[in-house]
Structure 1
Amino acid sequence: MPPPPPRPGVIPLAPLGLGDILGGAFTTIGRYWKPLFGIALAVYGAATVAFGAALAIAYALVDDHLRAVSDASRETPPMWDDIRPLLLAFVAVWLIGVITMLLATAMVYASCPAILQDAVLGRPATFGVVWRRAAARVPAVIGTVFLTGLIFLVPLALFVTAFVSLTVTLIASDGGGYILPPLAFLGALATAPLGVWLWVKFSLAPAAAVFEGQGAVAAMRRSAQLVRGDWWRIFGITVLAAMTAAVTSYVMQIPLSVLEVIPGLLGTDDLRSGATVSQVLVSLGGTLAVGVAGQLITQIAVAAFPQLVTSLLYVDRRIRTENLAAALAEAAAVPRPGV
């Protein structure tokens, strides 16, 4: 029997199976949960605070226009001078939410391979070291996420076109326009497989951007090179990791949803008993706080675990195609098998 491969960290330094990849992701979460969840909580918390501040500022600026629109009726429809500020405020708040969430997600995506650089070798990782290492690669990771997201722009646009045109046609009920929704749906179904194929082909790009210090385009080329010849395996493991994260998120939401209902029930009882408005607002604030905390926790689980699996797939592909195991064993100061 040949000696087992060395295992200085969360995975054996050999070609990885499904159990090694999933087990390595769970082990990484168990051993390095402080820097991993600390960074995720910091960035998603900051994104939530920024979005809430933008929403509060927008509400303060358009409060009068919002009241005018809400008080309008059929006899006195709202004026465009009141609707335009509301639309501008909505677009501004939406853009701030998208940008902050993109930055937070990119930071989480960069922190997973940054932690694995130490986890694979069995070395400790601190919050500050991982933060500096991941923050330096955030622009490249944002580029890979943005370019990969453009892949689904065509099928998504066709699907939205089909849905909107079908809704308008049904509301109009004039018997015309029925040809556009089926064509758009067929176009979305025809382009979706190509989008999935390209998504898997470039799925290792964030890991390549962090591990190798590549730029966005170079990291995507590197991902395509590593995925070549192993597309179906990477697709299956990636989908399994996403499903595992979704189930975990759902299970975590159950107790949080119960906690979220309790403050609302207390607020209803206070309202029925004639409590002041401030007491009811405090109760609703508790419900909102529990809901935001639950969303943060589930967002961390959904973002971190699949990215850890993807980063381990990157390591596995380099072990299989580039003999990375020998270099890792040397870096970890672990004797090679048989030596």
Structure 2
Amino acid sequence: MSDTSGRGPQAPYGAPPGPYGAPPGWGWNGYGWTPPPPPPKPGVIPLAPLGANHVIGGAFATMRRYAKPLFGTAAAAYGLLALVVVVGGALAYVATREHIRVLHETGADFSWDDGRPILVAFGLAWLVFMLATLVVNSFIQAACAATLHEAVLGRPATFGAVWRRAWSRTPSVLAVTLLLSVVLMLPVAAFALLFLSLLFLMMTQSLIPIGLVFPLFLVTLPLAAWLYVLFALAPAAAALETAGPFTALRRSVRLVRGAWWRTFGISLLAGLIVMGVSLALRLPLQFTAPAPPPVDPDDSASAYFLDQLRSQFGLFALFSLVATFITQLAASVFLPLVTALLYIDRRIRKEGLAHTLAQAESPQGS
């Protein structure tokens, strides 16, 4: 998977369009119509244009057959992320321990001299956590693409090989992920402005802010969705073609052109599957959640808040944490696999990638 646009050496993800018409020998014979043979399927998908069932089924098949490199890599990455969170929180606490102690003294009033260092320290820890989360998610996307590279041809993939290949492509995938995050922030920012304008409306009885912000929200939401789907295949292109971020974005636009609704529909279906799995794990936990403690009018707000927190700890908190981790792990692997399979499907349809993959799978092409 080398070049990105059809120039230079390309193996196996960069060949010119292949012969997916009807080869000689197909058609009518003396006994009737001879159906074409099924396309080869050396790995998790047939080497032919993919339907939605092939994309979703191929993602599940890859997760089943390559569970160790996929989930092992993702779990290790999230383990490193958890370590970053713990270390960052511990450093922030150590740096502001005296200020926290002063604010927690009995009868203490809030003071910015003590509150400002706490907000700055934990704000920096939160910023580091967000950046680390983007790096980890980009790494997992690259790892999914690296695993799928072997899964399509039915080749083995080891944890070490996937880790090394994914790490080498993480910077490019991270740059693409940052841009996609900015695209997603457009409707989020517009929604935040809409919420603030509603507060302004309730306080001042003025319709001017909401009259300006609501149309902005209606415009940014479909615009962000259109841009996000248009660039959706860029992470796969960055990982599978060793493309730079801007080249990967251009590749995604060319591949999605003419198939925006199909890409959107299959991606939405994958998201609904993840949502269904998440609900299946979380809903039973809601019935076992401990009842909140009764409200005592004589208790202070801080005491009531601490009682609420204590009621949520124990086995319920442990099961909730495990369910959240399983859901996040499955989603972080399943969704990038679906995106990478959509990328392969578009290249099969537009560039004849199936012929190149079939040659790479054959003894002559290996």
TM-score bin, normalised by smaller chain: 0.7 to 0.9
Residue 191 of structure 2 is aligned with which of 159, 170, 175?
A: 159
Once the two structures are superposed, residues 221-255 of structure 1 have per-residue CA deviations (whole angstroms, 9 ceiling, x without a partner) of 00001001111111100000011111112223356
**What is the distance in 2 between the residues matched to 1:135 and 1:260?**
40
Q: Is the 2:230–2:256 contact (alpha carbons within 8 Å) kept by the matching residues of 1?
A: yes
1:41 corresponds to 2:75: yes
**What is the distance in 2 between the residues matched to 1:321 and 1:34?**
33
Q: Is the 1:249–1:302 contact (alpha carbons within 8 Å) kept by the matching residues of 2?
A: no
After TM superposition, the score normalised by the length of structure 1 is 0.85
More moved, 230-239 vs 291-300: 291-300
Alpha-carbon deviation of 1:198?
0.8
Q: 1:185 to 1:226 in 2, by over 3 A?
A: same
Residue 28 of structure 1 is aligned with which of 49, 52, 62?
A: 62
1:223 corresponds to 2:265: no
Residue 183 of structure 1 is aligned with which of 212, 222, 226?
A: 212
Q: Is the 1:253–1:298 contact (alpha carbons within 8 Å) kept by the matching residues of 2?
A: no
**What is the distance in 1 between the residues matched to 2:104 and 2:214?**
37
Residue 329 of structure 2 is aligned with which of 300, 307, 323?
A: 300
1:90 corresponds to 2:122: yes
Once the two structures are superposed, residues 21-75 of structure 1 have per-residue CA deviations (whole angstroms, 9 ceiling, x without a partner) of 11111100110011100011111121122112222332233233234334587xx
Q: 1:289 to 1:103 in 2, by over 3 A?
A: farther
1:108 corresponds to 2:137: no
Q: State the secondary structure of the residue aligned to 1:7.
A: coil
**What is the distance in 2 between the residues matched to 1:144 and 1:48?**
24
More moved, 116-125 vs 243-252: 243-252
Q: Residue 345 of structure 2 corresponds to which residue in structure 1?
A: 316
After TM superposition, the score normalised by the length of structure 2 is 0.79
1:178-257 equivalences in 2 (<5 Å): 178-254=207-283
More moved, 20-29 vs 248-257: 248-257
More moved, 30-39 vs 142-151: 142-151
Once the two structures are superposed, residues 79-130 of structure 1 have per-residue CA deviations (whole angstroms, 9 ceiling, x without a partner) of 2211111210221121121011111111111111111110000001110011
Alpha-carbon deviation of 1:208?
0.3
Q: 1:247 to 1:312 in 2, by over 3 A?
A: same
Alpha-carbon deviation of 1:175?
3.2
1:63 corresponds to 2:97: yes
Q: Residue 21 of structure 2 corresponds to which residue in structure 1?
A: none
More moved, 104-113 vs 179-188: 179-188
Q: State the secondary structure of the residue aligned to 1:9.
A: coil
Residue identity over aligned pairs, in percent, reads 44
Which one-letter code corresponds to 2:86 in the other structure? G
Alpha-carbon deviation of 1:257?
6.5
1:6-21 equivalences in 2 (<5 Å): 6-21=40-55
Which one-letter code corresponds to 1:312 in the other structure? L
Q: State the secondary structure of the residue aligned to 1:8.
A: coil
More moved, 244-253 vs 125-134: 244-253
Unaligned runs of 5+ in 2: 1-34, 294-309
Once the two structures are superposed, residues 207-226 of structure 1 have per-residue CA deviations (whole angstroms, 9 ceiling, x without a partner) of 00011100111100000010
Alpha-carbon deviation of 1:148?
1.5
Q: 1:319 to 1:236 in 2, by over 3 A?
A: same
Q: 1:72 to 1:288 in 2, by over 3 A?
A: same
**What is the distance in 2 between the residues matched to 1:68 and 1:210?**
50
**What is the distance in 1 between the residues matched to 2:115 and 2:223?**
41
**What is the distance in 1 between the residues matched to 2:96 and 2:280?**
39
Q: Larger % of helix: which?
A: 1
Which one-letter code corresponds to 2:261 in the other structure? W
Which one-letter code corresponds to 2:81 in the other structure? A
More moved, 125-134 vs 43-52: 43-52
**What is the distance in 1 between the residues matched to 2:154 and 2:347?**
19
More moved, 292-301 vs 119-128: 292-301
Q: Is the 2:190–2:220 contact (alpha carbons within 8 Å) kept by the matching residues of 1?
A: no
Which one-letter code corresponds to 2:89 in the other structure? L
Once the two structures are superposed, residues 248-292 of structure 1 have per-residue CA deviations (whole angstroms, 9 ceiling, x without a partner) of 12223356678886xx99xxxxxxxxxxxxxxx9x9476555443
Q: Residue 20 of structure 2 corresponds to which residue in structure 1?
A: none
Which one-letter code corresponds to 1:162 in the other structure? L
Once the two structures are superposed, residues 155-212 of structure 1 have per-residue CA deviations (whole angstroms, 9 ceiling, x without a partner) of 3222212212322553xx3434x32134212201112111111110100001000111
Once the two structures are superposed, residues 119-159 of structure 1 have per-residue CA deviations (whole angstroms, 9 ceiling, x without a partner) of 00000111001111111000000011111121233332222
**What is the distance in 2 between the residues matched to 1:152 and 1:294?**
26
Q: 1:221 to 1:99 in 2, by over 3 A?
A: same
**What is the distance in 1 between the residues matched to 2:223 and 2:286?**
38
